[in-house]
Structure 1
């Protein structure tokens, strides 16, 4: 199913407050979104520490979702030794592959990772006993042969969420990445200076496999920004850095993976160097393609696609924020230059997706670099009650320059930098995308 050839993307659903709310509660802002490996379930985490799960609505032909369950994953804490508040905000959610009727997923805030089991549970109540027949009270039995065992009946089915494991006290700095290995037995967690390897079944110890902390912190020149396991080879993982490089590490090589197997880095043109070079070249997200052959990376201005067999330069560089090059001073002043945009592959590895400001998001065809510009905005469901293309950009297959409609709008001075698409997830088997836009979850689908 090719979104370019089939007439483009359309708005499908929106979860959250659909009214024009000016004062959005901070706790309701969505901080991560993730499809499971089947695409039948979708999870979001927010700044209030809640995880909300959605289930595919099988009664609908189209890819539509309905509310499944919600639970409080993390609570605010206070580290008395360091006089430090620990936010309840969910930084990442990762699903484990389903082995039985229950779902397992990992969620993390800055310090603590939890493994949640989500399952259906039947509530039973006493329907008959020696004092009631289920409807009304009966006189107590006077003879022993009138005694009977109470009977239990199923009253309701509920969805329960219980934390099966809590992995804590292993990170001195804020956890920004977790990734489940393809062996479904281990996972990694990464903060600014270290990456730890955990066994899913063992919560009281982990192995430090990457440590870039210098002996003297004043000599610190780079930090880890994202980490990800290879989708098929359980010994390979990669991590990106603020120095615009990606390191591929092999756990078979040594226990401490400080020596990388491959280094993906593009030399910067000295003519383009500026005060902001280091900030805008810091990689905010990396993702392996589903087949494990390519790497997608996102920095402030560009998307880059790397071939895992070619370290010297990316095979494709896709400019996302070229129109913001002249505004870097303003973006530095309002801290937007430090925004961490995520990126993701489509299920068939033929498209890539990333976000921008004013709730714009862009989808690129990997081969042709044709792009689609969408806006995850409340006008989407006001303008479109039933089906139809969303935007006035009729040239959906337009080449990667800005064309009509939303492409022109992206250039305008009126961009709202408070509205930004940082988090998104792509259905593993269909062209359906889930977009976190402040406190709303938008779903778009390509017919």
Structure 2
């Protein structure tokens, strides 16, 4: 009992935080009216680093673009000094373009007659060292470890010809050409120099003194250089869908449809297979791995999701091959509600741990679900994202939209969750108990135009475990939705209420 509690009386539950007022911050790569988007420019991955001072995006053209925060640098001082003031709450975060580099190129596997796209599937930041930035990027088959740092530019300060002693226009070049032309081919194949006598006279006259060695000096100007430190290849038979760094700073995992491999950052020629769900007979295959992520603080724990809508938590201390899970999180559908689309819409496209590691957020086609890792009986909260599309599942199946893989993210304090939708919309929900926060925003072509709708959500069910369902209302008339524009990728700033989201080739930033 705390000092303020009265004997026998439980304290009232804390009220949920008020809904945030989201505002547009900035946009990179905004399209002009009527401009067509090139396929290679479409953003396919977004990731903040742990400090939130750097943001990385990857696109379908295999490029990685880095942005750095500038508003805290303009104020001077360190981030810790800024956090002591109200500055981070009075001005919105501002980022600027830092650099970009070509991470992956299109390849062709001749043994399997398979074309490998250069598209960046995932980006993950690694620990910084000596002012250099480190990150992992992957396409379908190959993972690369990049180091980005500033290096001083070296320049040639002097030419190798003394201009005071140079004769004519290009005396060194002309003398070289004349010496070559004076070489004649003899009958026995040997070369004889006709001008050897004249050259000796030039050397004796001191003409060689006009040649000077180039002098290379380091200037004060710096240039960002991206260098590939490691290439982790030939370890996956299927497309890589996830990479995740371990909290130990030394290892990471990569996952494809059937296997999860464990790598050491410093060793690129071998990996350890820790999860293998491939059956002896492929006809017996019933589910595949869709996403995998390490626990943010426990280096021995990781979670992976499947196409059947389940999440498995595994402990690497139990065995080297983690085929047996320590916990299983899944929600069973009632038999009467099953249909042809049940398994398709139940497939989890993305999972994220909360910053403290207590919760796991999962996204399937219809919903967001928040799971408590200490309670595997069911999700503690379910947020309806696409419930209004249920009558149109047949059409969505015909145009393949039902297979779209939307990502999800949590705020640093764990009080809110977010995910994307169609027509470049994204939705923010309050995850606190009894919260009714449900905000819909549009990453539009006109950045100053916002569409925010805050609709009190209805609680459809509740129990002692505080299981609630929120949302479900359509963000607009579903007939006006554009299924060709979809907001699949977004990321939440680790310490502030700021969201970066990708709408085709444009990167939009919002803050609250």
TM-score, length basis structure 1: 0.90
Q: Is the 8 A contact 1:323 1:411 kept in 2?
A: no
Q: Is the 8 A contact 1:127 1:153 kept in 2?
A: no
Q: Is the 8 A contact 1:433 1:445 kept in 2?
A: yes
Tell me if 1:95 matches 2:115: no
Match for 1:438 among 504, 507, 510?
Answer: 504
Corresponding residue of 2:264? 199
Tell me if 1:375 matches 2:435: no
Matches within 5 A, 1:262-273: 262-273=327-338
CA 1:151–1:161: 2 relative to 1, 3 Å:
closer
Name the SS of the counterpart of 1:248 in structure 2.
Answer: strand
Matches within 5 A, 1:42-191: 42-57=55-70, 58-59=73-74, 61-128=91-158, 131=161, 137-139=163-165, 150=215, 152-154=217-219, 156-191=221-256
Matches within 5 A, 1:294-373: 294-367=359-432, 368-373=435-440
**Which range moves more in the overlay, 201-210 or 366-375?**
366-375
C-alpha displacement at 1:148, in angstroms?
9.4
Match for 1:399 among 451, 456, 474?
Answer: 456
Q: State the distance in 1 between where 2:414 and 2:20 align.
A: 20
Corresponding residue of 1:25? 38
Query: What do residues 46-97 of structure 1 show as CA deviations (whole Å, max 9, x unaligned)?
Result: 0010000001113375301111001000000011111110000000000002
CA 1:155–1:69: 2 relative to 1, 3 Å:
same
**Which range moves more in the overlay, 370-379 or 195-204?**
370-379
C-alpha displacement at 1:365, in angstroms?
1.0
Tell me if 1:8 matches 2:21: yes
Query: What do residues 144-196 of structure 1 show as CA deviations (whole Å, max 9, x unaligned)?
Result: 9x989936141631101011000000000000000000001000000000000
Tell me the number of residue pairs that the alignment of Structure 1 and Structure 2 aligns.
Answer: 425
Which runs of 5 or more structure 1 residues have no equivalent in the other structure? 384-389, 402-406
Q: Is the 8 A contact 2:351 2:408 kept in 1?
A: yes
Q: State the distance in 1 between where 2:383 and 2:254 align.
A: 29
**Which range moves more in the overlay, 268-277 or 85-94?**
268-277
Name the SS of the counterpart of 2:40 in structure 1.
Answer: helix
Q: State the distance in 1 between where 2:496 and 2:160 align.
A: 56
Query: What do residues 173-230 of structure 1 show as CA deviations (whole Å, max 9, x unaligned)?
Result: 0000000000010000000000000000000000000000011111110000000000
CA 1:129–1:234: 2 relative to 1, 3 Å:
same
Q: State the distance in 1 between where 2:56 and 2:348 align.
A: 25
Greater helix share, 1 or 2?
A: 2
Q: Which entry has the higher C-alpha Rg, 1 or 2?
A: 2
Q: Is the 8 A contact 1:125 1:155 kept in 2?
A: no
Query: What do residues 226-285 of structure 1 show as CA deviations (whole Å, max 9, x unaligned)?
Result: 000000000000000011100000000000000000000112111211110000001111
Matches within 5 A, 1:277-296: 277-296=342-361
Corresponding residue of 2:81? none
Q: State the distance in 2 between where 1:34 and 1:7 align.
A: 22
Q: State the distance in 2 between where 1:84 and 1:425 align.
A: 32
Q: Is the 8 A contact 2:425 2:441 kept in 1?
A: yes
Query: What do residues 387-415 of structure 1 show as CA deviations (whole Å, max 9, x unaligned)?
Result: xxx3353xx4x4226xxxxx765333111
Q: State the distance in 1 between where 2:119 and 2:25 align.
A: 27
TM-score, length basis structure 2: 0.79
Corresponding residue of 1:257? 322
Corresponding residue of 1:414? 480
C-alpha displacement at 1:312, in angstroms?
1.2
> Alignment RMSD, CA only?
2.2
C-alpha displacement at 1:124, in angstroms?
1.2
CA 1:408–1:302: 2 relative to 1, 3 Å:
closer
C-alpha displacement at 1:130, in angstroms?
7.1
Name the SS of the counterpart of 1:410 in structure 2.
Answer: coil
Q: State the distance in 2 between where 1:411 and 1:221 align.
A: 36
Q: Is the 8 A contact 1:115 1:164 kept in 2?
A: yes
